[in-house]
Structure 1
Amino acid sequence: MSTGGPSESIRRSARALIVDHSYRILLCNFRSRSDETYWITPGGRCEERETPRGTLERELREEVGLELRTTQPLVWRQTIIDPEHFPGFSGVDNFYFLVRVHGFEPRGALTDAELRDEHLHGFRW
């Protein structure tokens, strides 16, 4: 019988492949709770009743200070069903959008402390 608890849910998120005119990709330095370091694309978890596109707009504004003016194309949907992949969830469903930009210095609405709370420790092109 299904209990419907967090271990049986899928974590949905929107991620951005931000590419500038020199074909550089913007990445975030992510440190896990176990202090492992990864370079990931900007983005994050979809909130309740939030679409992946809505999540993309919110996360880019918060994390890197990018205001999207046009609809970004969905280029990849990654689904991983594995309870070991993201603790508390039975899997993840990532929506990746292509975002073309002129180069910019990432500085979003979140403070450095708030970014660290999100496990983000800087950005690099």
Structure 2
Amino acid sequence: MLSIDIVGLVISVCLVGIRYPHYAFAAAVINAMGQIIMVIFLAGNVEKIVTAGAFSSAAVTNLGGLRTMLFTISGPLANFIISKFAGGIEFVSTNHIVNPTVMLKHPLAVINLRFAVISLVLSLFQLF
């Protein structure tokens, strides 16, 4: 079962990049697809996925130990890979990477990097 939490998506857009909501929604889709692909790859059973941007969660069975950790980091890893392929992070100052209201030259790369960091922190918090 797939559920979409609009409130979580809106909060994620505000945290990641209020100027570029379309890139933030794309980052949320990339995150969810990364989790779904990893669950298929690890042969787990998906009970429920709640897509709420960076606050997404999933109930998966038949995963244990290392596989659970791989599933936990799969969404942020997908965002990080897209961020690296999009390029442009090297030329952005640290202040612009942290500030979600700033105008960016390469918004896809920066938004995905922000989303990866926030999603990783929240996923690890949910795991432990």
The TM-score, its normalising length taken from structure 1, stands at: 0.25
The TM-score, its normalising length taken from structure 2, stands at: 0.25
Higher RCO (CA 8 Å, separation ≥ 6 residues):
1
- Which structure carries more strand by proportion? 1
- Which structure carries more helix by proportion? 2
